[in-house]
Structure 1
């Protein structure tokens, strides 16, 4: 490949490389081969080369590699193709896939390789463009320089295409010394690439006249990649195109471009047949690359030695910054600081001082695990007091390694209401207070498909418990417990966190009081009494009277106003605020005196008066504004609400931009005392990934820890969790106080407008407004529809018409709640389903990646599908009457019956069955693990618990044992109807299915018994066992029946299974013991070990369990494992690392007591503990964190 070969030069005796010198296209080139494969060999060669040739600018690492059978812009990767490194995303073009460290129990890769120099990247791009423009491939010209007719060069001849064979990733080549033919590899296990690539018009043709080049990430490691499954997993994670074994060694010390000819598919079917040709094509690419690098430009490049370290560090920092951003975007913590800052801003100087001086608060501060419950009536200033306490705690906190974190539950913000939201926020706050925080979060992200999946609530609980081990003390302030959703799960979590100090605020609601009674020490429940609160109210009123322009003019009445308001406030700051707002509108002193004589008794009567005092001309818009704020599915921005108010569904042209309110914040004037503009911003989605799914996912399989979220329609729920999204931010308008929402929703108002706040009426108004707004956009404002909904035009729509995002994503949510009994609503819902351009406009704006137009050429399935998704019976009947094909697929995989069953629309399912829907139609939605968990309508209704519908489906011929037929389907679907019902504890349905001949063992890989055991559904489990469920079956999700029972955590069920011999399988106690240790359940472990056998010893059951213990694992559990014979010598080092890194003295003590010996120089804590007598170790433990390394 050289134009000219130069004579050899003298080299150092320490340089053992063999060099070939020459020139290519005017560039002087040094060629060195590697004596062996591997990063170490490459690093050695590069180091010696740099010493001998100190003026080297950069390098090309040319050779062979194992390809990943994926597709790029150049088509599918095949043998004989070329892969060239190129920076992609966070990667520099090269990743070291087997280099990393253990952080928080996870392997975190630290191999960030230097990116190729710019001159090489530019040359590669220029070469790519040049090849597209020429008729003859220059790479083929160079390849023909090799005369393969010569005996010595025959190894570089291209093998025939029939020798390019790709096998399924899980199909193993048994004897690596033999070829696939001699080894007897089955032809049926080969991947049919012709079928796979038939629809890929961009793929380059496989011929002898053109070489295919792919550019992207190349992975380097010390071990040969011979595993198809591992190959695919790593490739999917980091978008890897090729695996090799030298780049990491070179790139760590030298700026290089990696060029690899593909000689195999990185699986167990490796062979040497393609090695020569793959090396030759890589060399031809390297030669041609020099043609696109001007000599003068290369001379201007900095010498490699001077820049490589900076390049590596820059790459590493960029990657770490990207990881931090990914972690935050994945965790999505609610910003509690907004509530804190808002509440602090409302705090008058001196407010709450009485509480900070109180004995009960001082006692709370002094207690190691203090608990305090502040309860008060609505509007008594609890949130403002909470902000004062937080500020005081932070100012007084001088203790090292202590944490003060907080959370404000908020009725107006859906992201601040559930246990999951609380945990995400607290975890994020903790991560910034300790150096190990980032490692915890990064490890957790990788655990969940590198951020592609969201962790269940239980996983967040465990993460929080691990993180607080790094602190001597953790104080948590939680405000407005009464505004939470799923209060019982939050209270259960609070009362089981014994290591934390808690200060809670909220209303004295019965369920909260009952849950906290046993948990709180005596005299730690404080009611905000009127007397001290009245002092704060008096100071607040005096401040407002002196500073507010409209109030300061009545100086002669200030004492009267103050005395009257304080006397009648009853400890309610909120009530006082509303009265001051009304007083500020008085025009003269008589009006002030009249209002003071007729003050409303409480907040409800206050709100009645506010509504009744709204000018008649403003009433319609004021009521509509309150409907949106009280009932909308998400918070709304100022600009969104302006457009909502400007939309009139009864008008022939519902929306006109000229009708917008200006300025936008004037909207507060409609009912200023009932709404407020906050510093918080609405976050709304600007873009939906092409892989987004229209199906909300409802899990009916494994009862993972459930969040407190109610089941609601969410058109985004199936979106690819790992897809990139953009967000917009807008100022948010919300109801001024929780009591306002209660007033509106609980029908406490006694005004003529009460009916407007009935749930169906308000949701019908929101739905009609949304659809009228969208219809106007389609017919009036967007004349060039199809062009406007793609690319930047879609973003422009949302910018110019801000209500678009809410309207497209949530009108169906509100229609579902409202029903179609109101004619005004049915007018608009039927209009969008029947009017195809209108329907297509909605789908294009909401899901722009879908080619909905193609579906309309065939049938009206999308309309029928979405009407069924929303449970809109009248629209479904209308579409069927107009000829919609009831069994047509939606184009996304489901029929109308399937989605109606999935969503639990019982009456609609019955309608569809009677109208001829195919009850055995199978779900074809195979686009991701969350694409939909139910294979047929029967499994869906069994999961949801509708006995009557199950009966109706069976009467119409539904296959009772339908389930996944293939391993591929098992990836996406839950199993049979029996399993779905068992997983959710629907005893009546399980009984019904069994009575109608459901096969209790029909799906061994997804067992109904295992699902019931894991869900702790004892009665269902007993029924299945009585009906012959196989206790020895192995489930893909849970393992053995015993594993599933331990996962469920019911001791009685575990004992029952042991009595029936569930441990007498080839797996024994393996898995079950680990699950008990992981759950920190001493009782379960002791029960299991009563049946410990020789088989379990051989299986290493105890060793596996000991390896998985955590710093917070019960010390007695560790002792039992060691006493039973766990191999301490084998696992002690890993345990010591855990113990020292988290300060867990208990683990070290247990190991030392059982004779473990450690290097006394390795760690001060282990050294000091190992030197002490056993009786002295408890003293060290009692010192707590003072002994922390």
Structure 2
């Protein structure tokens, strides 16, 4: 709900009335409005003799007038509706919203729980009849839906409900139905028996207000002169029935959606947090880059690729952009989702795993719960296999981004190079026509994509073929190398200071300066080097040992790996194992590693010779 500048409207421009009987109902509806035009009701004024007090605003794209009746009951409702009719002559639909008493229906398909919303199909005016010793008879054949108020006997309630098929009791609709086309949207706050109390009234009122807004969104009429014809009761039947169908199936739908979310779920937060947080003052080079700024400020779908070799901090950058809210100029109107690929980890190497996780984040962050509806039919058609159907998942994502009223969706795919080759090809096949095709779908959607990866050949070929210089940032290029090294120096200072008591201030300074003097410093080199220092830092506490440490620090990533291998008790076998792992196309099991290490060092000419050499 927001207060905005008053629009230039007249009373005849209001086509929807929402009517409440008690304060908690009225307050809940106020919060459901998209806009409240405070003061406009006084400018519009009332017709002579109309003493009602109104609020006016906009809800579900309708100009609406909200009326709080002077009290509960049919008489107050009839009087208030008559006055409303005299002032707002173009009302096409009145919704009586709020709280009601429900018929429990325990053990039946009509069981009602506290807070369940009841939407009228018809109304029975229960006080237009007589109660006989064995039955109830109406004076008129008015087949309406909700019944007489203040049923305080459970036995009477159940008897009347059984006779007429009631599911709820309320007090105002019978006084309004003959003034306007009218439906009732009320939530159960008690069971209309001797246990009536006010404990659940606020909860039920809020549920009814939300359902009222959803109901308005379902009706096929719009504000404006082209739709000035008043809706008849029969015109309302079809959309009302559709709403009732949804009401009847709501538990099944919620059950299916819970299954869908469980199927799509991944521990995306843990995957992101596996990467270290940025050090204060780092990643600033990226925030200043004009290509990033252009992507950030774009109001349409767009893609940007950030590429660099190993150990240049791409994943740290991706995490920082997410954590610091640097992926949108309007965070309140943006859904940010992400996936961190990781080779060798279950459910982190396939394209469909990425989209499953992304959709789960979108659905759980969509407070209006409207985007998940795009997955209902595919989930019904494909069941559990939807999780592995990349193209169906992509279509759901595009549908979410194309929904007119949806928020902007920003998706980060980190380390795309660690996605399996088939998965990368899947992604290539959908990105090119979406963002850069002749009839690209990006025009009518709001899906912004940030991809990080190493500059592998297939990735460079793909992005070079579709992207422009404005959508490609090489973070380890010559134009960025000096900025990256300055930021690595900040990380060096922080990490070395974390050694604390193991080194004095003078020695920590000496280590920092020595590390910062290395020409080929990258994040990967620093990570490996700090690991070497950390493993034996207690050995290097003496001043003479510190000098030895400074002389032995690796000068490059390759030097760091050499020093790590040399620490092995069997350096030759360690090197053999490393060569084997580098040559494999997938992670090996322990048994497979054992077999590989037992093979004799000789040339093999065919598969049979290799198998003959494996011990059985």
TM-score (normalizing by structure 2) = 0.51
Q: Structure 1 570/496 Cα, relative in aligned 2: closer, same or farther at 3 Å?
A: farther
Query: Is the contact between residue 313 and residue 523 of structure 2 (CA under 8 Å) also seen in structure 1?
Result: yes
Gaps of 5+ in 1: 1-10, 22-29, 64-245, 255-297, 628-741, 749-756, 767-817, 827-1189
Query: Is the contact between residue 307 and residue 453 of structure 2 (CA under 8 Å) also seen in structure 1?
Result: yes
Instruction: Write the deviation string for residues 1096-1143 of structure 1: whole angstroms up to 9, x where unpaired.
Output: xxxxxxxxxxxxxxxxxxxxxxxxxxxxxxxxxxxxxxxxxxxxxxxx
Shift of 1:14: 2.6
Instruction: Write the deviation string for residues 230-249 of structure 1: whole angstroms up to 9, x where unpaired.
Output: xxxxxxxxxxxxxxxx8xx4
Q: Structure 1 758/466 Cα, relative in aligned 2: closer, same or farther at 3 Å?
A: closer
Partner of 1:745: 581
- Please, which of 495, 499, 502 is the counterpart of residue 544 of structure 1? 495
Partner of 1:477: 412
Q: Structure 1 605/571 Cα, relative in aligned 2: closer, same or farther at 3 Å?
A: closer
SS in 1 for 2:466: coil
Query: Is the contact between residue 409 and residue 480 of structure 1 (CA under 8 Å) also seen in structure 2?
Result: yes
**Given the alignment of the two structures, is residue 302 of structure 1 paired with residue 195 of structure 2, yes or no?**
yes
Partner of 1:421: 353
Query: Is the contact between residue 151 and residue 169 of structure 2 (CA under 8 Å) also seen in structure 1?
Result: no
Q: Structure 1 488/452 Cα, relative in aligned 2: closer, same or farther at 3 Å?
A: closer
Shift of 1:527: 2.3
Instruction: Write the deviation string for residues 512-549 of structure 1: whole angstroms up to 9, x where unpaired.
Output: 00000022112543322332211111111111222223
Query: Is the contact between residue 533 and residue 571 of structure 1 (CA under 8 Å) also seen in structure 2?
Result: no
Instruction: Write the deviation string for residues 2-48 of structure 1: whole angstroms up to 9, x where unpaired.
Output: xxxxxxxxx9983278x664xxxxxxxx7999x99xxx97x76x837
Shift of 1:481: 1.0
Query: Is the contact between residue 403 and residue 474 of structure 1 (CA under 8 Å) also seen in structure 2?
Result: yes
In structure 2, distance between residues paired with 1:322 and 1:353: 45
Q: Structure 1 502/47 Cα, relative in aligned 2: closer, same or farther at 3 Å?
A: closer
In structure 2, distance between residues paired with 1:299 and 1:358: 65
Partner of 2:258: 325
In structure 1, distance between residues paired with 2:195 and 2:362: 44
Matching of residues 858-897 of structure 1 within 5 Å: none
Query: Is the contact between residue 15 and residue 48 of structure 1 (CA under 8 Å) also seen in structure 2?
Result: no
**Given the alignment of the two structures, is residue 580 of structure 1 paired with residue 517 of structure 2, yes or no?**
no
Partner of 1:494: 431
SS in 1 for 2:337: strand
Partner of 2:588: 759
Partner of 1:360: 291
In structure 2, distance between residues paired with 1:445 and 1:745: 43
SS in 2 for 1:534: helix
Instruction: Write the deviation string for residues 991-1018 of structure 1: whole angstroms up to 9, x where unpaired.
Output: xxxxxxxxxxxxxxxxxxxxxxxxxxxx
Q: Structure 1 566/527 Cα, relative in aligned 2: closer, same or farther at 3 Å?
A: farther
Q: Structure 1 603/319 Cα, relative in aligned 2: closer, same or farther at 3 Å?
A: same
Gaps of 5+ in 2: 1-124, 171-190, 209-246, 436-441, 596-609
In structure 2, distance between residues paired with 1:747 and 1:468: 42
In structure 1, distance between residues paired with 2:251 and 2:195: 22
In structure 2, distance between residues paired with 1:411 and 1:533: 25
Instruction: Write the deviation string for residues 874-898 of structure 1: whole angstroms up to 9, x where unpaired.
Output: xxxxxxxxxxxxxxxxxxxxxxxxx
Query: Is the contact between residue 764 and residue 822 of structure 1 (CA under 8 Å) also seen in structure 2?
Result: no
Partner of 1:163: none
Query: Is the contact between residue 340 and residue 414 of structure 2 (CA under 8 Å) also seen in structure 1?
Result: yes
Matching of residues 804-953 of structure 1 within 5 Å: none
Matching of residues 384-783 of structure 1 within 5 Å: 384-394=316-326, 397-398=329-330, 401-434=333-366, 438-442=369-373, 444-445=375-376, 447-449=378-380, 452-455=383-386, 456-470=389-403, 471=406, 473-485=408-420, 486-498=423-435, 499=442, 500-529=447-476, 530-549=481-500, 553-568=503-518, 570-584=520-534, 585-586=536-537, 587-588=539-540, 589-600=543-554, 602-603=556-557, 606-613=560-567, 745-746=581-582, 759=588, 762-763=591-592
Structure scoring higher RCO (CA < 8 A, sep ≥ 6) equals 2
Partner of 1:250: 166
Query: Is the contact between residue 57 and residue 301 of structure 1 (CA under 8 Å) also seen in structure 2?
Result: no
Query: Is the contact between residue 327 and residue 410 of structure 2 (CA under 8 Å) also seen in structure 1?
Result: no
Shift of 1:320: 7.8
SS in 2 for 1:454: helix
SS in 2 for 1:346: coil
SS in 1 for 2:530: helix
Shift of 1:569: 6.2
Query: Is the contact between residue 419 and residue 490 of structure 1 (CA under 8 Å) also seen in structure 2?
Result: yes
In structure 1, distance between residues paired with 2:470 and 2:207: 57
SS in 2 for 1:453: helix
SS in 2 for 1:536: helix
Matching of residues 1074-1113 of structure 1 within 5 Å: none
In structure 2, distance between residues paired with 1:312 and 1:320: 21
Partner of 1:383: 315
In structure 1, distance between residues paired with 2:507 and 2:152: 95
Q: Structure 1 253/424 Cα, relative in aligned 2: closer, same or farther at 3 Å?
A: farther
Q: Structure 1 819/61 Cα, relative in aligned 2: closer, same or farther at 3 Å?
A: farther
SS in 2 for 1:482: helix
Partner of 1:351: 282
In structure 1, distance between residues paired with 2:429 and 2:484: 30
Q: Structure 1 57/555 Cα, relative in aligned 2: closer, same or farther at 3 Å?
A: same
In structure 1, distance between residues paired with 2:407 and 2:547: 58
SS in 1 for 2:361: helix
Query: Is the contact between residue 374 and residue 396 of structure 2 (CA under 8 Å) also seen in structure 1?
Result: no
Shift of 1:511: 0.5
Shift of 1:417: 2.2
Q: Structure 1 451/310 Cα, relative in aligned 2: closer, same or farther at 3 Å?
A: farther
TM-score (normalizing by structure 1) = 0.28
SS in 2 for 1:250: coil
In structure 1, distance between residues paired with 2:160 and 2:594: 67
SS in 2 for 1:497: helix
Query: Is the contact between residue 277 and residue 319 of structure 2 (CA under 8 Å) also seen in structure 1?
Result: no
Query: Is the contact between residue 342 and residue 348 of structure 2 (CA under 8 Å) also seen in structure 1?
Result: yes
Q: Structure 1 58/513 Cα, relative in aligned 2: closer, same or farther at 3 Å?
A: same
